[in-house]
Amino acid sequence: MARGPNPLILLGLASVSFIAFATIVRKREQSAPASLRFQDPPPPEDKPQHTSAVFDHTKVTVLFVLGGPGAGKGTQCANLVSDFGFCHLSAGDLLRAEQHREGSQFGELIQTCIKEGTIVPMEVTVKLLENAMRAALQEGRTREGWAEGRGRFLIDGFPRKMDQAMKFDDDVCQASMVLFFSTTEEVMLERLLERGKTSGREDDNVESIKKRFTTYKETTMPVIKHYEALGKVAEIDSSPSVEEVHLKAKAVVEKILADKK
Ligand code: C5P
Ligand code: MG
């Protein structure tokens, strides 16, 4: 009689594949510095005295911007940039730029994660954000909120996973608040499919969108809950029109910036 494969052999094969995969991922992570042009730490006077973070959260305001894919984060960030002079950094955009950067050793890894709607290993994303923040602070911006080593950032689509949140708050800059744009999956799906007609994005298709929704529910919602428990979440219903959502978001940010003064 025909018998199925021996379960012990199957288990063995699965373990070997897992160990090989984990080793590849770890090697890539360990080699992150060269490819992402890791820079020297900032001079001591730039470093906050009370934490080990790179940027001082009393001078540098970071607002995380979260919400499901298609919730309108990017659109609303653009409005808030013109209202308040924020520097808008989209984690997804930075990853796509790194994916296409010639010589990047993370191109393939990023492409796979984006297509599958999974989260890129956090070291890559956190380092891209840190480098972009440093560049913006060194630019000598002149708008309100940027004098004497101060700065204001909207970090869009980040942190999508608890490890990203912890690493960023501890090592880069403690975030002041999370702007949480919430709406239904139906609204998000409709917006993403509409955007997909012209975005050229590899993940604006029904198959990838479903995976992104799953990652959002399973991996990103716990991050929002974490900040909620700290009293750091401002939820904004993003179902209405762009302008209506903008007015609400503007009022929320006005208050956050006033409280911080
Ligand atoms: O925010 P956006 O939809 O542009 O992100 C696209 C993809 O980039 C995500 O689905 C995910 O694969 C990756 N990403 C990530 N970590 C983040 C932001 C985006 O891994 N914090
Ligand atoms: Mg976006």
With respect to residue 27, please indicate whether it lies within any of the assigned structural domains: no
Containing domain of residue 65, as a range?
60-260
- Does residue 24 belong to any structural domain of this protein? no
Q: What is the mean pLDDT of residues 194-223?
A: 97
CATH code, 89: 3.40.50.300
∠ Cα 84 75 258 (to 5°): 25
Tell which residue, 40, 71, 67, has the closest CA to residue 54: 40
Residue 43 lies in a domain: no
Per the domain annotation, does 35 fall within a domain?
no
Q: Is 13 domain-assigned?
A: no
Higher pLDDT, 34 or 250: 250
Q: Supply the pLDDT for residue 51.
A: 73
Predicted pLDDT at 155: 98
Would 221 be classed as within a structural domain? Answer: yes
Q: What's the rounded mean pLDDT across residues 180-208?
A: 97
Task: Tell me, yes or no, whether 19 lies in a domain.
Answer: no
Give the model's pLDDT for residue 6: 72
Q: Please tell me the total count of domains within the chain.
A: 1
Q: Is 113 in the pocket of ligand 1 (CB under 6 A)?
A: yes
The pTM for the full model equals 0.84
Structure confidence at residue 43 (pLDDT): 52
- 70 labeled binding residue: yes
Q: What is the mean pLDDT of the chain?
A: 89
Q: What are phi and psi of 178, to 5 degrees?
A: -115, 125
Average pLDDT over residues 136-149: 95
Cα of 157 from ligand 2 centre, angstroms: 6
- Which atom of ligand 1 is closest in space to residue 120's alpha carbon? 20
Q: Mean pLDDT across the stretch 114-127?
A: 97
Cα angle 137-146-173, degrees, rounded to a multiple of 5: 55
Return the pLDDT at 261. Answer: 80
